[in-house]
A and B are shown apart, each in its own frame.
Chain A
Amino acid sequence: MKLDISELRSGYGAGAVVDGVDLSIADDEVVAVVGRNGMGKSSLVKTVLGYLPEVQGSIALDGEELVGQRTWSIVRREIAYAPQEAAIFADLTVRDNLYGGLRRKPARHVEARLFDAFPVLAGRLAQKAGTLSGGEQKLLLLTRCLLLDPKLLVLDEISAGLQPKMVTAVADVLAATRAERSLSVLMVEQNVDLCLFLAQRVEVMKSGHLVAEVAADAEDARPLLLQHLAP
């Protein structure tokens, strides 16, 4: 699925937080957005999902304009979104959290892959999601997204709070999913290594716009990114 963002400005009512962003994600491409705090990364992905009250510019998904549409209508276009805050339903069971919003049954091998990677979810399907720890809730979010079988996946700091082993598991699951079928990913991430492993391109965001682009396979990609992130 192809995402084209052009001349995007958005905010919460008191000035633009995203201030002139042009970004294209090709079909089956993974793009990571990095940057210091308060630079508008989360606001950028929230704008794509239709959460911000004031939006100018264009967000086209396979040529169809998303600006002006409501969130519920946007996510019906095979977009899955894992927000930064662990947005789970604490009083529902893990199973209901995972399967409650599905419109069609996920493929057996997709389920198997996810539960193999994150066994804690498989073991606690009948328990309330609120009893999961902070890191486990992030895994729940990702699993819910992937069960939806999306064409565009939007991840906001999915690795924050995860132990190293689970960061690897997340990377592996995403890689395995992408090996099988086309999946575009827009990810906001602080973990530079995860960015470089998954993404083809890393965009650096500063004060509401994208200031640099680093190809992940460039030899000096890692030091270059760290330099961009330095204060």
Chain B
Amino acid sequence: MRPGTLKLAGVLVAMLCAAALGGLPVFVDAYTTSLFTTALIFAILAISLDLVWGLTGVIDLGHAIWFGMGCLGVGILTTDIDPVTKLVSAIHSQLGNYVLGGLLGLALAAVVSGVIAAWVFSFRNGGSLYVVVVTLAASVVAGIVYLKTGSITGGDNGLFGFAYPALGQRGGYWLCLVAVVLILLTALVFVRSDYGIAMRAVRDNEERAGYLGVNAFAVKTLVFVIGAVVAALAGALYGTVTGVMSQPLVGFSFATEVLIWVAVGGRGTILGPALGAFGMSLLTSYLNRSFGAQWLLIQGVLFVLVVLFLPRGVLPALFEGARRILRIPASTSAVRSLQVAPASPAQLERAQRLVAVDVRDLAVSFGSLQILRGVDIALHHAELLAIIGPNGAGKSTLMAVLADGRSKVEGSVSLGFAGGLRHRGRAPFRLARAGLVRKFQIPELFESLTGGEAFVLATHRGRGLSPWRRTRTIAVPEEVLRVLDIAGVSEHLNRTVADLPHGLKQGLEIALAIAEKPTVLLMDEPTAGLTSHERTAIGGVLRELAQAGVAVVLIEHDLDFVDAIADRVAVLHGGEVVHVGEPQTVRQSETVRTAYVGVAE
């Protein structure tokens, strides 16, 4: 079956489903309609959590809070509470109250989630643990606060009876159906956009994303707030349509239920969590009647089974099964096709900014271990500086410190002429955006991204990442194409990076670093694992980059190779620069002969 036919079939199925759902309330009773309405709203809630957890990798155990805020906003503005009985005593059912209440809930969710996200994600090296702990605590606190503020929230009794009367059962259902379709489509466009690549990159390897110029803090905070606002929207719909708000809706156990829907449906797929929430909440409603007490247990067992046997969720497993039956090759299923093309001279010029690096009296230590001491070195534009030195001399540490202004060091690192750009305190993504690019010693790219998608990130400097557009062709400097050809990666750009052999990953990393249009290029052993032919060819490309004005720094062990391409060589030994000079002078150095090569020549 051809991909085009397949796409058409998919659209047809989706339209049939929408039509069937649209006609449903005409044929079923009011009770069934209300169950389906709730299921639709929960689908929106699951989509919002999938953005945060599935796509960006942030576990939000307090996701129900945002839902509750939306619902509560509507509830508060449409009800009066008797101060004595704490029961709802009057309903104000004008449309304005619903709209205003909904907006109030959305705004509250945006502000609170923004504050929590900005605080939690500002911890360095915190990993995802902080978010889990803080959101867990937040959902417990939210439950308590709800009960203690009975004069506006209704406390134990909650708020009730405030459904918007003009909508009616069917009207409410259709409103929710339209909302689900709109949010589903918007979310799908969003996650397939260039910004979506940044989200997945942050989920896979946050640190590495920083070195491609992605501000992981901003991505996580923004997506967390978007997730909260969409959840609040679902809550506002819930309030408007059902007219019920109670304490469990903000609580921890409801939040975990949403997590289960997302996990069972297939996290990271948007559609999976939506179907998971829709299906499982309907099942819950029906089976609750027949099984009652056992249903929770059944749900738990189901969850365990899915985690054990379908770790990626039900929907991806279904797609995989269908793919096998219809014999569709794996590559055409989900991976977008991306091409790289040479950039115009104007595109090249735009990124040219003058940054050279001046290192003065640099010292680095890890605990009692002194890695670098008294390092003085200047990196010039249009020069290829090779750094050689024994294993453990501190070469990679020097690279790491140069590429991350937040490292704890003594001494100074200044960028640009006369230190025009600040280095200290600047995170790798800021330095990368300023043109200082690092290629890591060990290739370690993003598990779920294709090589092509990584290029979208590497080249986004200066044009940003669009939240709706999908880049199909990426303009890269001509050198990038040559590196891709030399290393043989060109034909593998649409494969997931995790599936590539080590040498191809290495080639891809080199090409990515060059694609960032660096003014300072830090290359940590780029040619390890490449054949001598590939090594020579890549050396030629680096040589040309230097001639074009880039300050290239190269860690390398092959002295013949260094002789052939470097302008200057610095020898690092025991954390100190023991020799700097032209390549010919290096072999005469006593230190190099004894400590590095190990043979007298």
> Which residues of A line the B interface, CB within 8 A?
12, 14, 34, 36-38, 40, 42-43, 84-86, 120, 127, 131-136, 138-139, 157, 160-166, 168-169, 190, 192, 226, 229-231
Q: Complex formed: what's the CA distance from A7 to B330 in Å?
A: 26
Chain A residue with minimal CB distance to B391?
A: A135
The 8 Å CB contact of B529, one of A136, A157, A164, is A157
Is B392 interfacial (CB 8 A cutoff)?
yes
> Which residues of B line the A interface, CB within 8 A?
330, 366, 369, 388-397, 441-442, 486-488, 492, 499-504, 506-507, 525, 528-534, 557-559, 595-599
Q: Complex formed: what's the CA distance from A14 to B220 in Å?
A: 34
The 8 Å CB contact of A133, one of B396, B503, B557, B598, is B396
Q: Complex formed: what's the CA distance from A139 to B507 in Å?
A: 24
A163 in contact with B531 (CB, 8 Å): no
Shortest CB–CB separation between residue B507 and chain A, in angstroms?
A: 7
In the bound complex, residues from chain A placing their C-beta under 8 Å from that of B528 are 157, 160-161
Given contacts A131-B369, A134-B396, A163-B390, contact A38 B532 (CB under 8 A): no
In the bound complex, residues from chain A placing their C-beta under 8 Å from that of B369 are 127, 131
A164 in contact with B392 (CB, 8 Å): no
Q: Complex formed: what's the CA distance from A229 to B537 in Å?
A: 13
The 8 Å CB contact of B598, one of A138, A165, A226, is A165
A229 in contact with B533 (CB, 8 Å): yes
Chain B residue with minimal CB distance to A86?
A: B442
In the bound complex, residues from chain A placing their C-beta under 8 Å from that of B394 are 133
Shortest CB–CB separation between residue B443 and chain A, in angstroms?
A: 9
B500 in contact with A38 (CB, 8 Å): yes
B533 in contact with A231 (CB, 8 Å): yes
The 8 Å CB contact of A161, one of B389, B532, B533, B557, is B557
In the bound complex, residues from chain B placing their C-beta under 8 Å from that of A226 are 532-533
A133 in contact with B391 (CB, 8 Å): yes
The 8 Å CB contact of A162, one of B330, B507, B533, B557, is B557
Interface-central residue, A14, A160, A168, A169, by most chain B CB under 10 Å:
A160
The 8 Å CB contact of A38, one of B388, B391, B504, B533, is B504
In the bound complex, residues from chain A placing their C-beta under 8 Å from that of B492 are 38
Interface-central residue, B389, B390, B394, B507, by most chain A CB under 10 Å:
B390
Chain B residue with minimal CB distance to A193?
A: B532
The 8 Å CB contact of A37, one of B499, B531, B532, B595, is B531
Interface-central residue, A120, A160, A163, A169, by most chain B CB under 10 Å:
A163
Chain A residue with minimal CB distance to B537?
A: A231
Q: Complex formed: what's the CA distance from A164 to B506 in Å?
A: 21
The 8 Å CB contact of B501, one of A34, A43, A165, A192, is A43
A37 in contact with B530 (CB, 8 Å): yes
A120 in contact with B391 (CB, 8 Å): yes
B525 in contact with A165 (CB, 8 Å): no
The 8 Å CB contact of A190, one of B395, B499, B529, is B529
A36 in contact with B596 (CB, 8 Å): no
Q: List 24 A-B contacts (CB under 8 A).
A: A34-B531, A36-B503, A36-B531, A36-B534, A37-B488, A37-B502, A37-B503, A37-B531, A38-B492, A38-B503, A38-B504, A85-B502, A133-B397, A138-B391, A139-B391, A157-B528, A163-B388, A163-B391, A164-B598, A165-B390, A165-B597, A168-B598, A168-B599, A226-B532
Known A-B contacts: A84-B529, A132-B392. Give 4 more (CB < 8 A): A37-B531, A85-B502, A164-B597, A190-B531
Q: Complex formed: what's the CA distance from A138 to B488 in Å?
A: 26
Chain B residue with minimal CB distance to A229?
A: B531
In the bound complex, residues from chain A placing their C-beta under 8 Å from that of B396 are 133-134
A163 in contact with B501 (CB, 8 Å): no
In the bound complex, residues from chain A placing their C-beta under 8 Å from that of B597 are 164-165
In the bound complex, residues from chain A placing their C-beta under 8 Å from that of B504 are 37-38
In the bound complex, residues from chain B placing their C-beta under 8 Å from that of A136 are 391-392
In the bound complex, residues from chain B placing their C-beta under 8 Å from that of A12 are 499
The 8 Å CB contact of B507, one of A37, A84, A161, is A37
Chain B residue with minimal CB distance to A35?
A: B531
In the bound complex, residues from chain A placing their C-beta under 8 Å from that of B388 are 163
In the bound complex, residues from chain A placing their C-beta under 8 Å from that of B529 are 37, 84, 157, 160, 190
Chain B residue with minimal CB distance to A130?
A: B366
B557 in contact with A131 (CB, 8 Å): no
Given contacts A162-B557, A164-B597, A229-B531, contact A14 B392 (CB under 8 A): no
In the bound complex, residues from chain A placing their C-beta under 8 Å from that of B599 are 165, 168
A-B pairs with lowest CB-CB distance, top 8: A37-B503, A135-B391, A165-B598, A160-B528, A133-B392, A161-B528, A134-B441, A38-B501
Chain A residue with minimal CB distance to B598?
A: A165
Given contacts A12-B499, A133-B392, contact A165 B531 (CB under 8 A): no
Q: Complex formed: what's the CA distance from A61 to B387 in Å?
A: 44
Q: Complex formed: what's the CA distance from A106 to B488 in Å?
A: 43
Shortest CB–CB separation between residue B509 and chain A, in angstroms?
A: 13
Given contacts A12-B499, A37-B488, contact A135 B392 (CB under 8 A): yes
Shortest CB–CB separation between residue A189 and chain B, in angstroms?
A: 10
In the bound complex, residues from chain A placing their C-beta under 8 Å from that of B598 are 164-166, 168-169
B487 in contact with A37 (CB, 8 Å): yes
A131 in contact with B366 (CB, 8 Å): yes
B534 in contact with A37 (CB, 8 Å): yes
Q: Complex formed: what's the CA distance from A168 to B369 in Å?
A: 27
Q: Complex formed: what's the CA distance from A40 to B391 in Å?
A: 28
Shortest CB–CB separation between residue A124 and chain B, in angstroms?
A: 9
B487 in contact with A192 (CB, 8 Å): no
Chain A residue with minimal CB distance to B388?
A: A163
Q: Complex formed: what's the CA distance from A114 to B389 in Å?
A: 21
Shortest CB–CB separation between residue B583 and chain A, in angstroms?
A: 15
A37 in contact with B501 (CB, 8 Å): yes
Q: Complex formed: what's the CA distance from A157 to B595 in Å?
A: 23
In the bound complex, residues from chain B placing their C-beta under 8 Å from that of A84 are 502, 529
B595 in contact with A165 (CB, 8 Å): yes
